[in-house]
Structure 1
Amino acid sequence: MARDDEVLYVSEGDPFIDPQNEAKVTADQHGAHTDWLTLNIGGRPFTTTRSTLVSKEPESMLAHMFREKDVWGNKQDEHGAYLIDRSPEYFEPILNYLRHGQLIINEGINIRGVLEEARFFGIEQLTEQLEAAIKNIQPAEDHSPISRKEFVRFLLATPTKSELRCQGLNFSGADLSRLDLRYINFKMANLSRCNLTHANLCCANLERADLSGANLDGANLQGVKMLCSNAEGASLKGCNFEDPSGLKANLEGANLKGVDLEGSQMTGVNLRVATLKNATLKNCNLRGATLAGTDLENCDLSGCDLQEANLRGSNVKGAIFEEMLTPLHMSQSVR
């Protein structure tokens, strides 16, 4: 029996729901999206709300990870922070974007690093913004050669054996002489007319790089990778390609038209199908070198040591073989 001051609730067929309990459930559900949590990103803590990670980009990896508690079984550290093995400096602008929707990158932060993190976390709108921003600044980078002073700063901040990625960068005309450039990735870089005299390029990657007109006299090229590089008209006098540990330099398919390699140590070097037309190789040590299919037309090979070198199928039309240290054998099969 209901009293006069009590509220009567009537349900026609549906389960009875107490409004007070309904309000409590709604509050709990709302709290699931606004409760605070801490992320441990690469050792650095970031405190934020669940709604920040979920609301802005609902289809992102972060949204799926934290939309519901413990669905992904995220591992936590001793303080309860969720462990994510990514870069904290690149994550910070991403978290700020999720907070207020604005892309803000502090000075000194590489925008490409932020882009990689945005892609990793599947934040599509931010990824599009970053790609557009990079596209806008790309032309300035392409047309402005890097100076010696700028590059030396990078070198001093990099461990000797770590691979410094300089792929596709423009060093045209730069003075990089006598620098320690070991293990650096110069793949597809523009090094035309560079001064690289006496530089240490041991194990450097110069694949498809433009070295046309560059000066590499006296450079250390042990174990260098110069596959399909363009070194037309370059000077490489007195270079050392010979690695005592047995690591062989690879110049397969390189364009070496008119290069000057006089007096270089090139034991075991791979010059297969390279173009050496009109090149000077006087007094070079080419013992055991691979010259199969190489274009040696009009090359000056006088005074060379070609013992056990493979010249099968090479073009030696007009080549000079005077005063060779060892005679060519029929098994070497030149044409």
Structure 2
Amino acid sequence: MKRVILFKNGTEVNGKVVLVTHSLEELLTSAGAKFSVVAKRLFTKQGGEIDDLKLIRMFAEGENGFIMTPSNVDKNGAYLIDRSPTYFEPVLNYLRNGQLIFDSNVNPEGVLEEARFFGIESLVPQLETLIQSNQRPCDNVPLTRRDVVKALILTPYTAELRFQGVNLAGSDLSRLDLRYINFKFACLHGCRMVGTNLSWCSLERADLSHAQLEGAQLLGVKMLCANAEGANLRGCNFEDPAGSRANMEGVNLKGADLEGSNMAGVNLRVATLKNANLQNCDLRAAVLAGSDLENCDLSGSDLHEANLRGANLKDAAFELMLTPLHMSQTIR
């Protein structure tokens, strides 16, 4: 049912909200009761007399009675629903033959509010269906770089920032300082983190498959059972001068590219490195016990004091090794 605002005798104050009922006579009776007068006629703001309820949108001002402003119409006779252009972002909406027509920039939720306000109930189901079809499940939408930067700015440096289980797939987080953040179980599939500082982060069981981590800082990182299959880790630094060692036990680095990375002392126990590129890596004192290095290229790498006990070295390449290896109990 429509609601209109009445103003008495040309004033712009003390307006009264009145329901538009079935006839103009009933509306005049209600208006008179609101203002304790006998209401005889209704006028537009420009002085035109209103003689049909279909033209009424809201009461404005007038003389010798009450006036109402009818809904504006375009050259085709379509009614404009434009109560708040800002609310509609700021496109006017048209009602033609019971069908709502608007362009892609219109906010359908705002139109729904207008339809309910003006009593156009026939459009409500159509608009509700449109709104539901436009909505995406928020839980599945990956966070963007802007979302991450905003979280970094709003979080005090003394507080722990947690992205556990968060979806960041495909986001560009290059060259950001993300130290000490909890990314446990997070989805970082295809994420671009070139030159990003991920030192002392928890990436346990995170999905880093096909992520771009070239030149990233990974000092003291925890990547237990993480999936980094096909990831680009060229030139990464895992060695902490203070002695904190990266723990990558059980990590999946199948087909990953780690060429030229500094991985001294890193724990890669029972890790999967099948078909990985480990050329020219610093693996001094690294723990590779029980790891799968089948068809892995370790040419030019430094494996001084590395623990290879029980590792699978089938078809692995060891050309140009810097130091002699002790590979007893390995699978060759």
Q: Into which bin does the TM-score normalised by the smaller protein fall?
A: 0.5 to 0.7
| Partner AA of 1:155 in structure 2 | L
Corresponding position of 2:154: 157
Deviation, structure 1 residue 236:
0.2
TM-score w.r.t. length of structure 1: 0.57
- Write the distance in 2 (CA, Å) between the matches of 1:141 and 1:325: 52
RMSD across aligned C-alpha pairs, in angstroms? 1.3
Corresponding position of 2:228: 231
- Write the distance in 2 (CA, Å) between the matches of 1:306 and 1:328: 7
- Write the distance in 1 (CA, Å) between the matches of 2:164 and 2:300: 37
Distance 1:203 1:332, change over 3 A: farther
- Write the distance in 2 (CA, Å) between the matches of 1:303 and 1:319: 13
Contact kept? 2:298, 2:319, Cα under 8 Å: yes
Structure 1 segment 131-170 matched on structure 2, within 5 A: 140-160=137-157, 162-170=159-167
Deviation, structure 1 residue 160:
3.6
1:185 maps to 2:182:
yes
Deviation, structure 1 residue 142:
2.8
* Residue aligned with 1:204, SS: coil
Deviation, structure 1 residue 329:
1.8
- Write the distance in 1 (CA, Å) between the matches of 2:313 and 2:326: 14
CA-to-partner distance for each residue in 1:278-327, whole Å, 9 max, x for gaps?
Answer: 00000000000000000000000000000000000000001000001111
Corresponding position of 1:208: 205
1:284 maps to 2:318:
no
Contact kept? 2:180, 2:202, Cα under 8 Å: yes
* Residue aligned with 2:137, SS: helix
Distance 1:172 1:277, change over 3 A: same
* Residue aligned with 1:156, SS: helix
- Write the distance in 1 (CA, Å) between the matches of 2:158 and 2:285: 29
- Write the distance in 1 (CA, Å) between the matches of 2:220 and 2:141: 30
Deviation, structure 1 residue 332:
7.3
CA-to-partner distance for each residue in 1:171-218, whole Å, 9 max, x for gaps?
Answer: 000000000000000000000000011000010000000000100000
Aligned-pair identity (%): 66
- Write the distance in 1 (CA, Å) between the matches of 2:288 and 2:161: 31
1:247 maps to 2:244:
yes
1:328 maps to 2:297:
no
- Write the distance in 1 (CA, Å) between the matches of 2:163 and 2:191: 15
Corresponding position of 2:192: 195
Corresponding position of 1:311: 308
Q: Which has the larger radius of gyration?
A: 2
Deviation, structure 1 residue 140:
2.8
Structure with greater helix share of residues: 1
Q: Which of 269, 273, 277 is the aligned partner of 1:272? A: 269
Distance 1:223 1:301, change over 3 A: same
Corresponding position of 1:220: 217
- Write the distance in 1 (CA, Å) between the matches of 2:227 and 2:278: 17
- Write the distance in 1 (CA, Å) between the matches of 2:283 and 2:329: 13
- Write the distance in 2 (CA, Å) between the matches of 1:278 and 1:180: 31
* Residue aligned with 2:252, SS: coil
Contact kept? 1:161, 1:183, Cα under 8 Å: no
Deviation, structure 1 residue 163:
2.1
In structure 1, runs of 5+ residues without a counterpart are 1-138
| Partner AA of 2:214 in structure 1 | D
In structure 2, runs of 5+ residues without a counterpart are 1-135
Structure with greater strand share of residues: 2
TM-score w.r.t. length of structure 2: 0.58
CA-to-partner distance for each residue in 1:38-86, whole Å, 9 max, x for gaps?
Answer: xxxxxxxxxxxxxxxxxxxxxxxxxxxxxxxxxxxxxxxxxxxxxxxxx
